[in-house]
Structure 1
Amino acid sequence: MRVRHYWKLLATCALFLGVCAVVFSTVRVAPLVTSTSDSAEDPVTQDIAGTVDLFDASVAHRVSLTFRDSDYQRLLDEFWDEGEKDFLEADITIDGTRIASVGIRLKGNSTLAGLTRDGKSRPNGFGAGRPDAGGAQQRQPNAPGGGFPGGAQGGAPPGGAQGGGPGGAQGGGFGRASLKAEEPETLPWLIRFDEFVDGRRYQGHREIAVRVAGMGGGSTVLNEAVSLHTLAAAGQTAQRYAYTGFTVNDRPTTARLLVEHPDEGFADTLGGHGVLYKSLASGSFTDKGDDPTAYAADFKQITMKGSQDLQPVINLIRWVSTSSDAEFDAHLAEHIDVESFARYTAIQNLLLNFDDMAGPGRNYYLWYDLTTKKFSVVGWDYNLTFSGNATQGPNEQGRMGGGRFPQNGGAPQDFQPPQDFPLPEGMQPPEGMQPPGGNAPGGQGGRGIGGLGGHKLKERFLASTAFKSVYENAYRDLYRKIYANGAAANALDSISTVLSTVDGYDAQKGATDVEQLRTLIRQRTEHLATDSVITGG
C-alpha cells in the first residue's frame, strides 16, 4: 500500500486529531453514572451465623485477634511515614467462632493523634513535640481516664459559666486517649470481614468498629454506649453496640466497646431505597463546583457505587450555600426531611455532643432517599457525648473546653480566640492548622479537624425563626424520652451491670466513670426541666 494513494485520508485524520487536541485538551472529563438503578452492589456469598448475636448488649462477649508482628510493624510504618491506614490480615474469634483472614486497620483521626511508638509521637500529628510523649497524659484531679483539662479545671468559658461534666469535674475538652503502638489491645480498630475474602459477612455485617477508651468517656466509653442505648429507646436511628473482652495475640485482655459500623448492612436498616454518604473529617460542607473529584476529601459514597453518584450531595451543598434566607425557609423541606433534621439537632444538644456534624470531626452521614429525593442526617461517633456543660441550654452550642456558643453559629461578644478555645496542655496543633480566630466554633466557614468545625446547614436551620417551633417541639419530646422518664439513668444502670461481667473490666476505673456520668445525667435532667423550651410545651 502506497502512502501517496491515501494521503488525503491520512491528512484528514491528522487534522482531526490536531483539532481534538486543541479544542478538548482543556475540557474536564467528569465520570457520569447513566444507570438509575437503586440496587446494592457487592453480593454476599457467605454470611457467618456465629453463636451469639454480636450486638446483644445484654451479655458480655469475647473477641480475640491474632496477626503477624511483621505485618503490624508494616502497618505502623505506613501510618507513621505516610499517614495511611492500610489493612493487615488477621484471624478473629468472636464468641467462639473463628474466622480466618479478616482485614483490620487503625481507625480515627483525632483519636490517633495521641498515638506513640517507642515513646515518640508521629511526625506532624497532634502529639508531635509534646512532653512525656511516651507516657500517660497528665489528667486533672477527678477527671475520667483519658480526659483533658477543660471544664472547671480549664477555666470558665465565655459568660462565666462553669464548664466540665459531672459536678464540674469531668474535662470537657477535646480529650484523646494516650495510646501506645506497643499496646494494640487498646487501639481503635476497624474490622472488615470481606477485605481478603470477597462477599463475606458476619451476621450481615461487613465491618465493625472497636471503640477506643478515653476521649470523653473515661476508661469504659460508657457515654457512647448510654447515648446509643437511649437513642434507640427513643425511636431514633442509632448504631448497635455491645461490650466485649478483647485480646490481641498474647497481650492482656481489655474490656472494649464494639459498635456497628455504618456500612451497606446498616443502610438497609434506614428504610426505603437510598444512598448513604459519609462525611470525612478532612472535609467541609463547601461548594467546590461541578467536578465530583473536588469533593474527594469531603464525602465518601458508601452504597450503590456505580449506580448512583455524588451529584445529590453537590446539589444540596450548592443550594444551602447560595439560597437566600427567604428561599431557605420556603424550600428547605424540598431538600431535607425537616422533622428528622430537627430531631437530629435536638439530640446533639441534649446529649452534649459538640463533635457532631458541625464539630471538628465532622461525625455524620447523609442518607439520600431515592423515592422522596430528600436527605436525612444520620449521627455517628458519640464518644464525646456527655462531656460538656450540664447547664447548656436548648439554643446553645457546646464547644471544646466545655463552654457554650449560640446555636446559630455566632460567638459571644467576649469570645477571644484562642484563649477561649484552648487545646489541651502539651498538645500541639498539626502543621498548617490555624487557631479559630474569626472562624469560631460554629462559624460557617469551618472545616473538619484543622478548621475546628462549623456547618452551614445546621447553622442556618437553627438561626431561622421558620423552624424554631419544629426544633423546640422535637427537643421537648426527646427530653421527655431521654431524661424525664429516666431512660438515660436506667440505661447507665443496665449497661454498667453488664460491663462488670466483661473480661478485662477495670472495676475501680469503671465505678468512677459510672458515678461521674450518673451525676451529669442527674444535673442535665434537673436543669432542663426548668428551661422555658421544656416548660412551655
Structure 2
Amino acid sequence: MRLYYIITHKKMMTSRIILLAFSFITYISGFSQTKGDKLFDSTKIHELRITSKTDPNLYQTLQDDVDTPDDRPYYQVDMKFDGEKIESVGIRTKGRSSARREQVPMKIDINEFVPDQEFDGMKKINLTNSYVDEFRQKDRISYELFRRAGVPAPRSSYVEVYVNDEFINIYLLVQQIDKTFIKDHFADAGSLSKYTSKHKRELKYGLDVFGNFGDMHLGDINPQLFQEVYFRDFLKFIVINDVIKAVDNFPHTNYYTYYSEKSKLFHFLPWDYNFTFRGDVNAGTIQPRWQLDIIWNTPEYKKLYLEVACELSQYLFDTSFIEELISNNEAVMASNSQGVTVTSAAELRTWIDKRRGWLQDQLTIEGVSCRDYSYPLQPGDLVINEFVASSDNTGGIQEPDGGTPDWIELYNNTNQDIVLDQHFYLSDDIDFPKKWNFISEVTIPANGYLILWADRDIHQQGIHTNFQIKKSRGNLLLVYEDLTIIDQVNYGAQELNKAYARVPNGTGDFMIQDPTFNTNNEPVLSIDDQIKDKVTIALYPNPVKETLKISTTSKVKSLTLYSLMGQELAQQTKVTEEMNVASIPKGTYFIDVQTVDGNSEVVKFIKE
C-alpha cells in the first residue's frame, strides 16, 4: 500500500475584519455575483426607463390610479435598466397615503405578462418615493439595520426613473418580499403574508399574529404563540422598530409574516420605513411598545429581550457604519444627471447618534450591565476547513436521513473546546452574512471537526443550514454577532464528488481533492493506481449486503476497509476470510487484503 502526501508550507493568513456596511462589502476580494447584484448595486445611481407602446400619457394614467387603491391594473410596458432591455413587464401605482403625491410610487411585476420572466433574478421590484422623508434615506437605512442584525430585509438602491423618456425623479428601488425573497433567505417556501391595516393574517389561535389590535391588548395573547415564533429574531425586530421609532409599522401595519413548514416557526419581516427617525429622540423607554406586556412581565422573556438590546447597542449603530452608509447615499444621489438637489442628512446623523446614546442610557436605567459581545477567539482559531458542493449517490457522503447533500466542515485549530452558540453565523451570501446561525449550542472539541449539512433540510437529524452551496462559484462566510468575519472562502467552479479543502489541514490554502470527511485533509490515500489489472484476490458476493467473503490462495493476515475517498473505516487483524459490512451505508468501497506471505491487494466492492 502506497501513501502520498500533498505538501505545502504556505500558511493561511486570517484577518479579523469587521463589516462596516453591507453596501460596500462587494469590494471584498473574490466577490461572486448573486441575485439582485445589478439592480441593488448601491455604489452608483441607476437609470430605469419605462416605455409604453400604447399609452403616451402613461405617467398621468398612473397618477389617476391613485384614487382606486384596491383596483389598480398592471400596464404592459418595456423596461430598460442601465441600458439592458426587458420587454413586456407590468407596472402599476402602489401605496395609499404615499401615492397621493406628485411623485407616484410604482410596482413593477416582471412576470405579469410573461410567466416566470425574471430580471437579475427578481420577479418584482418597487419604486418608492420617500414620502415624508426629505433625506430620501430612511427606508434604506432601516433595511440595512435589520440586515446588519440578521433579520432578513429587502435590498435597495437609488435610480433615476424615466417614463416615456420623461424624467420623473429619483426613486429608491426596493426588493420585493415574495417567493424569490423567501427562497433566498429561508429553507422552504412556507407561507408568506403581508400585514396591513386592511389585510390581517389569522393563525390557528383564531387571532391575528399578535392579537386583534382593535379590540384587545397584546398582553392578552396566548403565551403558547411565542413557541411558534423565531423568538430571538423577533426580539431583534421589535427592538429595532422601537429604537428607530417606526410609527407606521409593527404591530398595526406594514410588515410581513413568514411561516416555515420545516421549522414550524414564524418570522417577522420588515417593510416600508419612511415614517422613522423622527420625533423626540429622548422619548419613550426601552420597555416594548404596543402593550407587549407578556415580554416585559415574564422574567425569562424580559431577560432575553434585554440581552438582545445589549447586543444591538454594541454594534448596530456603529459610528463608522452609519457615517459610511449615509455619506454613500448622499454621494450616489448627488451624482444624478438631472441636477436634483439632495437634502443634507446632517440632522439625520445627529438624531441617530443621540438615539444610540438613548439606548445605552435606557439599559443603564434598567440596571443592565451588558457583557462584551466582541468575537471571543483569535484569528485562525476556527476555520472553514473543507466543503463539498456537488455529489451523487456513488461518491457522496451519506447524511443520517439518507441522501448525499452538500456539506461544510469546520475545524478547531486550538487545544481547547470551542462552543458555537446563536452568535455564530454561516452564509453563502456576502451581502447578508447572518443568513443562518446555530440555534442550539454545539461544541467542537480541541483540534476537532464539525460537519454541517448544507441542504436546507433543517427539520432533519444533524445540523443543517438553510442554504445549499453554489456549485459554479460563490462565497462561504463564517461570521460572529459583532460582524467579525471569522473566515471567508471565495471559490470557483466545483467538481462532482470532490472537496475544496485546506492543505495543510486547518491552515493552508484551498485546493480541490478527494473529500476527507470529518478527518485531517492530509495525508490523502491514493487508491486508484493501486488496483492491479490482474486480480488475484476475489470478493463475493459483490455487491454485498452483509458479509463480504474473500477468496485467495494464501491465508489472510488483515483486512482494512476504506471509503471511496481513501479514508480508513475499519481494520480487522483476526485471521479470517470474511468481513461483516452490514452497518456501513450503501456505496462504493475498497478493501485492502494483506496475506501472511507478505502480499497485498486493493479490491473494489459495492455495498447495497
State how 1:287-326 maps to structure 2 within 5 Å: 297-299=199-201, 312=203, 317=208
The 3-state SS of whatever aligns with 1:510 is coil
Work out which of the residue numbers 261, 267, 271 in structure 1 matches 2:186.
271
Work out which of the residue numbers 513, 516, 519 in structure 1 matches 2:347.
516
Work out which of the residue numbers 34, 50, 65 in structure 2 matches 1:65.
50
Paired residues of 1:230 and 1:488 also in contact (CA < 8 A): no
Say if 1:84 and 1:493 are closer, same or farther in 2 by CA, change over 3 A: same
User: Number of residues paired by the alignment?
Assistant: 330
Paired residues of 2:254 and 2:270 also in contact (CA < 8 A): yes
Instruction: Give the CA deviation at 1:262.
Output: 0.5
- In the other structure, the counterpart of 1:211 is 128
Q: Which amino acid aligns with 1:226?
A: I
Work out which of the residue numbers 246, 266, 269 in structure 2 matches 1:375.
266
**Is residue 286 of structure 2 the alignment partner of residue 488 of structure 1?**
no
The 3-state SS of whatever aligns with 1:355 is coil
**Is residue 92 of structure 2 the alignment partner of residue 105 of structure 1?**
yes
Q: Percent identity?
A: 22
Instruction: Give the CA deviation at 1:488.
Output: 2.5
Q: Deviations over 1:362-395 (max 9, x none)?
A: 1111110111211111111111121232113443
State how 1:153-302 maps to structure 2 within 5 Å: 179-180=101-102, 186-215=103-132, 217-218=133-134, 220-283=135-198, 297-299=199-201
- In the other structure, the counterpart of 1:54 is 39
Paired residues of 1:366 and 1:378 also in contact (CA < 8 A): yes
Q: Which amino acid aligns with 1:487?
A: F
Paired residues of 1:529 and 1:535 also in contact (CA < 8 A): no
Q: Which runs of 4+ in 1 moved over 6 A?
A: 49-52, 321-327
Q: Which amino acid aligns with 1:231?
A: F
Say if 1:203 and 1:316 are closer, same or farther in 2 by CA, change over 3 A: farther
Higher relative contact order (CA 8 A, sep 6+): 1
Paired residues of 1:230 and 1:487 also in contact (CA < 8 A): no
- In the other structure, the counterpart of 1:348 is 241
Say if 1:505 and 1:55 are closer, same or farther in 2 by CA, change over 3 A: farther
Say if 1:471 and 1:52 are closer, same or farther in 2 by CA, change over 3 A: closer
Say if 1:57 and 1:188 are closer, same or farther in 2 by CA, change over 3 A: same
Paired residues of 2:156 and 2:175 also in contact (CA < 8 A): yes
Q: Whole-Å Cα distance in 2 between the matches of residues 324 and 187 of structure 1?
A: 35
Say if 1:276 and 1:488 are closer, same or farther in 2 by CA, change over 3 A: farther
Instruction: Give the CA deviation at 1:248.
Output: 1.5
The 3-state SS of whatever aligns with 1:91 is strand
Q: Which amino acid aligns with 1:90?
A: V
Say if 1:363 and 1:459 are closer, same or farther in 2 by CA, change over 3 A: farther
Q: Deviations over 1:77-133 (max 9, x none)?
A: 565368522111111110101112211111112212xx2xxxxxxxxxxxxxxxxxx
Q: Whole-Å Cα distance in 1 between the matches of residues 111 and 248 of structure 2?
A: 30
The 3-state SS of whatever aligns with 1:209 is strand
Q: Whole-Å Cα distance in 2 between the matches of residues 319 and 257 of structure 1?
A: 30
Structure-1-length-normalised TM-score: 0.55
Instruction: Give the CA deviation at 1:271.
Output: 1.6
The 3-state SS of whatever aligns with 1:86 is coil
Any gaps of 5 or more consecutive residues in structure 2? 1-33, 371-608
Paired residues of 1:243 and 1:258 also in contact (CA < 8 A): yes
Structure-2-length-normalised TM-score: 0.49
Paired residues of 2:159 and 2:171 also in contact (CA < 8 A): yes
Any gaps of 5 or more consecutive residues in structure 1? 1-48, 116-178, 181-185, 284-296, 300-309, 398-406, 410-457
Say if 1:88 and 1:324 are closer, same or farther in 2 by CA, change over 3 A: closer
Q: Which amino acid aligns with 1:510?
A: T
Work out which of the residue numbers 473, 476, 490 in structure 1 matches 2:310.
476
Q: Whole-Å Cα distance in 1 between the matches of residues 35 and 181 of structure 2?
A: 19
Say if 1:510 and 1:338 are closer, same or farther in 2 by CA, change over 3 A: same
- In the other structure, the counterpart of 1:536 is 369
Paired residues of 1:244 and 1:256 also in contact (CA < 8 A): yes
**Is residue 337 of structure 2 the alignment partner of residue 337 of structure 1?**
no
Paired residues of 1:208 and 1:260 also in contact (CA < 8 A): yes
Higher helix share: 1
Q: Deviations over 1:243-264 (max 9, x none)?
A: 1111112323522110001011
Q: Whole-Å Cα distance in 2 between the matches of residues 506 and 364 of structure 1?
A: 31
The 3-state SS of whatever aligns with 1:224 is helix
Say if 1:350 and 1:486 are closer, same or farther in 2 by CA, change over 3 A: farther
Paired residues of 1:353 and 1:388 also in contact (CA < 8 A): no
The 3-state SS of whatever aligns with 1:265 is helix
Q: Whole-Å Cα distance in 2 between the matches of residues 212 and 465 of structure 1?
A: 43
Say if 1:298 and 1:319 are closer, same or farther in 2 by CA, change over 3 A: closer
Paired residues of 1:349 and 1:394 also in contact (CA < 8 A): no
Say if 1:74 and 1:313 are closer, same or farther in 2 by CA, change over 3 A: farther
The alignment's C-alpha RMSD in Å is 3.2
Work out which of the residue numbers 259, 262, 277 in structure 2 matches 1:386.
277
Paired residues of 1:476 and 1:534 also in contact (CA < 8 A): no
Paired residues of 2:218 and 2:293 also in contact (CA < 8 A): no
Higher strand share: 2
Larger gyration radius, structure 1 or structure 2? 2
Q: Whole-Å Cα distance in 2 between the matches of residues 212 and 334 of structure 1?
A: 38
The 3-state SS of whatever aligns with 2:185 is coil
Say if 1:111 and 1:89 are closer, same or farther in 2 by CA, change over 3 A: same
